[in-house]
């Protein structure tokens, strides 16, 4: 968790209730004619689903929409069909997991072929894991 302290309001994100605003104006703001000065620009790669996919390929996969019934062993078995898996970590309370392959090519193939596949009653959402250096700046 990052904590930012501003000595002036220059460059600081707009605040609502003391917290940074990263969403559009509330309904009562619109009725009063107040608008949030925040605008979020998202670039899309042009894929058919309209999802953002600007992450660089890596051997580390983030797997979202993971059912609480899915264990590390089940995920490892599912992903191992594409190559040797280094390790699997499941955060069942948050419904996501990380799958780390030995080879990047295996991770790319697994991402392409398993994205949207049903596991434990939910369609998996797979992306390349983002490192700290790939996270966008808050400003």
Q: What is the pLDDT of residues 107-132, one digit of tens each?
A: 999 999 999 999 999 999 999 998 75
Distance of CA 72 to the CA centre of its chain: 20
Question: Within a 13 Å sphere around the CA of 92, how many CA atoms are in the beta-carbon half?
Answer: 9
Nearest to 49 by CA among 125, 135, 138, 139: 125
Question: Domain tally for the chain?
Answer: 2
Specify whether the backbone of 102 is left (phi greater than 0), alpha (psi in -120 to 50) or beta: alpha
One domain for residues 35 and 64: no
Q: Is 38 exposed, middle or buried (0-12, 13-18, 19+ CB in 10 A)?
A: middle
C-alpha dihedral (96, 126, 131, 87), degrees to nearest 10: 70
pLDDT value at residue 45: 39
Q: Which domain holds residue 30?
A: 1-41
- pLDDT value for 1: 65
Inter-residue contact 107 to 59 (CB < 8 Å): yes
Give tens-digit pLDDT for 28-73: 555 555 544 443 333 333 344 444 455 789 999 999 999 999 999 9
Does residue 123 sit in the same domain as residue 65?
A: yes
Of 120, 119, 118, 126, give the one whose Cα is nearest residue 97: 126
User: Is 37 within 8 Å of 12 (Cβ atoms)?
Assistant: no
The tokens of 85 are what?
A: 């898996």
Looking up residue 84, the CATH number of its domain turns out to be 3.30.70.330
What is this structure's pTM? 0.58
């Amino acid at each position: 968790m990052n904590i930012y302290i501003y000595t002036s309001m220059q460059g600081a994100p707009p605040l609502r209730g003391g917290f940074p605003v990263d969403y559009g104006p509330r309904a009562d703001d619109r009725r009063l004619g107040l608008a949030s000065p925040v605008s979020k620009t998202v670039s899309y790669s042009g894929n058919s689903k309209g999802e953002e996919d600007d992450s660089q390929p890596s051997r580390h996969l983030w797997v979202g929409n993971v059912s609480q019934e899915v264990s590390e062993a089940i995920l490892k078995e599912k992903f191992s069909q594409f190559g040797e898996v280094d390790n699997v970590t499941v955060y069942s309370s948050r419904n996501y997991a990380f799958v780390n392959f030995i080879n990047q090519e295996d991770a790319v193939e697994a991402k392409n072929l398993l994205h949207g596949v049903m596991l434990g009653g939910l369609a998996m959402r797979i992306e390349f894991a983002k490192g700290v250096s790939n996270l966008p700046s808050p400003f």
